[in-house]
Amino acid sequence: MLMSDKLLSIKDLELSFKMYEGTLNVLKKISLDLHKGEKVALVGESGSGKSVTTKLILGLLNQRNVIKKGNIFFNSRNLLDISQSEFKKLRGNNISIIFQDPIAALNPVFKIKQQFYEVLSNKKKISKRESIELASKALLNVSISDPVRVLESYPFQLSGGMAQRVVITMAMINNPDLLLADEPSTALDVTVQNQALDLMDDLTKVTNTAVLLITHNMGVVRRFAEKVYVIYRGVIVEEGTKSQVFKNPGHPYTEALLQSIPKLNGTSIPIHNDNAPNYAEIPKFTHPK
């Protein structure tokens, strides 16, 4: 990849929360690069710091008790320095997101056509009729044969797989530069999960959209990503190409994640335990050399 193709560059990112008990350090010197058209996975167990990283990229952590340090450069602009009005222009246009629960990601009180209109009108002035035409065409392109019925539906009237297709199409309809996929297939069964990943792959290839996949599922990483960052307790403990990480993991935590992939005989090895990482304890390892 050429340096000029670098789309997202996170440098020494730190995030802390001021708590009654003291300061809780959640992210510690996170650095991550994503180039145009690249598919990168940020992988770790629940509570490792994946989703808060996504929220920082989207400008969604602005509470008074939040302390942010470092840089998040997107198209050479530091996202930690821009206003919320500027973020509003970026979200849904230059940067889109897909959440893990497609039904919950859609507004339950508005029809799908209205929600497409809100997304499209955020980029440019458009009539509702034009938005319906664009949305119908986009849904047809993802093999939804009855787009009119879908657009006239409320979210609860759609199956999980159909809702996920709608959410992915909605996220991609403005041809964003960056797609954040936060556990995009966790709430789906395996067959629909594969269809959703295939759809994301097809749409992003057409538009050369870069994808930052947030997940704990190494099976999904192996299927979709090109480059992998492994995060544990707010620290990037390993990074490399998919081939490097899967064939020769350099950190015990990465090995544990790989061993947790369900085997064909129904066995897998649990990562550590059922508890989320304790951020009050400093990780007992150093960044791999």
| The CATH homologous superfamily of the domain defined by 3-109+154-259 | P-loop containing nucleotide triphosphate hydrolases (3.40.50.300)
**Tens digits of per-residue pLDDT, 7-45?**
999 999 999 999 888 899 999 999 999 999 999 999 998
Helix axis angle, 160-172 to 128-141, nearest 10°: 120
Which of the pair, 202 or 279, is modelled with greater confidence?
202
Q: What is the pLDDT of residue 21?
A: 83
pLDDT at 286: 44
Mean pLDDT on 204-218: 92
What pLDDT does 167 receive? 93
Decide if pLDDT at 183 tops 60. yes
What region does 49 belong to: left with phi over 0, alpha with psi -120 to 50, or beta?
Answer: left
User: Cβ atoms within 10 A of the Cβ of 240, count?
Assistant: 18
Minimal CA–CA distance to 174: which of 213, 209, 143, 147? 209
Which residue stretches of 19-146 are H helix?
Answer: 50-57, 84-90, 102-105, 112-121, 128-141
The alpha carbon torsion through 13, 31, 276, 224 (nearest 10 deg) reads 140
Residues 36-72 pLDDT 10s: 999 999 999 888 999 899 999 999 998 889 999 999 9
Provide the 8-state DSSP code for 262.
P
Task: Examine the pLDDT at 272 and tell me if it is beyond 80.
Answer: no
The mean pLDDT of the chain is 86
Q: Which two tokens stand for residue 98?
A: 């897909």
pLDDT for residue 5: 74
Mean pLDDT confidence for 204-209: 91
For residues 62 and 277, the model is more confident at 62
Is residue 20 within 8 Å of residue 190, measured between CB atoms?
no
Q: pLDDT of 70-121, one tens digit each?
A: 999 999 899 999 998 899 889 889 999 998 788 888 999 999 999 999 999 9
